Structure 1
């Protein structure tokens, strides 16, 4: 869960003072159970559990009820025991090429999945991959709809663009950065298009995208979803720097462990949305010279393993246990995050170079 720092109407956890949503059952910062009547005063509660208007394609239809095996009716509830069926958005995957895949999951504690991803890749391994992840701000209205629309809009812009500059690596890097900026613009426009004009708490989300083209890796982000490069035999690299209160504390010398466990650890300072101060991504360019893994993920994963080096070790070990298959590895990393508590939505996208 991310919280935009400018929000002044969000309720807070009675145990630690961290920002929470009126739909949350547990505090993201301290894990305390949130009971009705205990939250600090806030604006009137809004029904944010809307059905996404952006369709998720290529997912199998819902099967029988997971509780009793009965038939799930058209209203989404079991006709025998009344259990609500899982939504397609709760857990979905994409694999545009054998070497690129992603998995997006609701997690354990949240009632809906506000994470989103959209990926694309050329068939030739290591040639061209486009990875986009958006994490909806839980305290905003319809962030699940906006995040998916934003991720897909960004991917479509990146897929359509092939500008290569004037042939030099610096000009090619500049052309890709320009494409990332255009993708962020498209994502922002999509978020706005899925925001009610009179919404008291407009939809918002984070944004991170990676473009890999013929050995050149360019990453850009707004908020605290992250991108990493994990070479097989060299030091792991965090490609992005969070736009967050925690990152600002780290910059002043406070330890990462302390900053990322404090009551404002999930407060972001930049995001996409109607009330966003600026959505121009901060970019990093890297030349890839050896085999490795590109990862783009939401904080549902890195919450449990924030430093690049241990997350790289976890990824390498997980990949080795699953034959180096990107989809199986991403799925296993999502399972691992859920095993740690699953306190947030989880998205993991991977490209094997």
Structure 2
């Protein structure tokens, strides 16, 4: 006599990390089916690469910006090689130290995952007991069995399946910026987040903002970390830009604010020791862009990226950021070629992130004055893994991207999903220069 499959002995739900009890077949918090899912791999702890003390912070380069103070703040990164149509200044410019020369934490952002997740099939509907009547207007119907009604907690009253989360796929479009985020094809939840907005500078000219954050999968509550960082950075920029703060300084300050927001998620209980170390605290990466009528500013911590793609394609595209990652350090130190470094299993070990257990906060900022129209693509590694080089990214960007940023963002997310969708995918598209407020997208 065959036996019913027994639930995997898990202490926490592999989807939402809520505690489980012995014998649970479904997660009580999110409804995830536990009977056919293997236990998740253990988190990889943050490691430290021993070496010399990091270089002292350098000053943010001065940029010609009317009625704004000279920005200042920490930040160093490896040089980014740009085409001649991008005249820019960065916040440091010094070489990244080799792995053996810099004392910085390293977090492995990608725990091993099975090739396929065996998802439970919907329970069959019994026509004798199922309510097949047309549900009242506004009633949600289960996406799994297509018959049961969804209760107030988000579960099907017929088959018990939890319904898709709101963050599984998100889209937002403003006049001059759009963003799309998708859970991808392998992850149980979307740990990315974004925020897009627009405001006016003191002279009335427009400023468009996009922030994209990628939760560190090996950390606890990465989805909360990315959402907190995106919202905090966006709100900080909307507060400082209209006051006349230089966009490069405003971006630097926004990253610091975002870091505080993520750190707050790891505050120890009052009963804990005052200086107790944080164990695998919530963490995320961040990349952002501010586009005005004549200036492009990017800022980042981690391995999320920003790309520049000219509209007329008469000049080469460019990557505007340099990863805080093991692979980038190996390339900068001349120990590996770029192809070798990114083919290594340690390539996605990040050396910079926002979180209470980060070794140090080192925001990077850079400003550019493009001499022609273009689009800025701000994205997580869920996209650039499938279009890593600037030339590859430009091939995927539609020719009318500056007029259809939402369509472009959808195309780029689709490219990642078609390539395998192994990670969450988030991308924001900003046309340059920023059009006057209210101009809209064609």
TM-score, scaled to structure 2: 0.62
**Whole-angstrom CA distance in 1 between matches of 2:247 and 2:238:** 11
Deviates more, 1:230-239 or 1:262-271: 230-239
Secondary structure in 2 aligned to 1:334? helix
* Contact 2:178/2:429 (8 A) holds in 1: yes
Q: Report the counterpart of residue 296 of structure 1 in structure 2.
A: 378
Secondary structure in 1 aligned to 2:257? helix
Secondary structure in 2 aligned to 1:162? helix
Partner residue of 1:250 out of 331, 335, 340? 331
State the Cα distance separating 1:72 from its structure 2 match.
Answer: 1.8
Q: 1:19 to 1:145 in 2, by over 3 A?
A: closer
Q: Report the counterpart of residue 142 of structure 2 in structure 1.
A: 65
**Whole-angstrom CA distance in 2 between matches of 1:19 and 1:163:** 36
Greater per-residue helix proportion: 1
State the Cα distance separating 1:178 from its structure 2 match.
Answer: 1.5
Q: Report the counterpart of residue 57 of structure 1 in structure 2.
A: none
Q: 1:94 to 1:7 in 2, by over 3 A?
A: farther
State the Cα distance separating 1:316 from its structure 2 match.
Answer: 2.8
Render the CA deviation track for 1:214-273: whole Å, top value 9, x for unaligned: 210011111000011111232111110000001112224423232112111110001111
**Whole-angstrom CA distance in 2 between matches of 1:203 and 1:187:** 13
* Contact 2:195/2:230 (8 A) holds in 1: yes
**Whole-angstrom CA distance in 1 between matches of 2:193 and 2:318:** 23
**Whole-angstrom CA distance in 1 between matches of 2:329 and 2:194:** 26
**Whole-angstrom CA distance in 2 between matches of 1:188 and 1:155:** 12
Q: 1:110 to 1:145 in 2, by over 3 A?
A: same
State the Cα distance separating 1:78 from its structure 2 match.
Answer: 1.7
Q: Report the counterpart of residue 25 of structure 1 in structure 2.
A: 113
Partner residue of 2:409 out of 315, 330, 352? 330
**Whole-angstrom CA distance in 2 between matches of 1:25 and 1:62:** 36
Q: Report the counterpart of residue 107 of structure 1 in structure 2.
A: 184
Q: Report the counterpart of residue 348 of structure 1 in structure 2.
A: 427
* Contact 1:4/1:269 (8 A) holds in 2: no
**Whole-angstrom CA distance in 1 between matches of 2:291 and 2:235:** 15
**Whole-angstrom CA distance in 1 between matches of 2:141 and 2:242:** 48
Q: Report the counterpart of residue 302 of structure 2 in structure 1.
A: 223
**Whole-angstrom CA distance in 2 between matches of 1:63 and 1:109:** 26
* Contact 2:305/2:380 (8 A) holds in 1: yes
Q: Report the counterpart of residue 12 of structure 1 in structure 2.
A: none
Deviates more, 1:108-117 or 1:63-72: 63-72
TM-score, scaled to structure 1: 0.77
Partner residue of 1:275 out of 319, 337, 357? 357
State the Cα distance separating 1:6 from its structure 2 match.
Answer: 3.2
* Contact 2:199/2:238 (8 A) holds in 1: no
What is the alpha-carbon root mean square deviation over aligned residues?
Answer: 2.8
Which one has a bigger Cα radius of gyration?
2
Secondary structure in 1 aligned to 2:423? coil
Render the CA deviation track for 1:303-335: whole Å, top value 9, x for unaligned: 111001110121135x56xx9421122112112
* Contact 1:244/1:268 (8 A) holds in 2: yes
**Whole-angstrom CA distance in 2 between matches of 1:149 and 1:218:** 22
- What is the total number of aligned residue pairs between the two structures? 297
Secondary structure in 2 aligned to 1:186? helix
Secondary structure in 2 aligned to 1:347? strand
**Whole-angstrom CA distance in 2 between matches of 1:295 and 1:87:** 26
Gap regions ≥5 residues in structure 2: 1-42, 49-107, 119-137, 270-277, 433-442
Q: Report the counterpart of residue 189 of structure 1 in structure 2.
A: 260
**Whole-angstrom CA distance in 2 between matches of 1:252 and 1:128:** 37
Secondary structure in 2 aligned to 1:75? coil
Secondary structure in 1 aligned to 2:343? coil
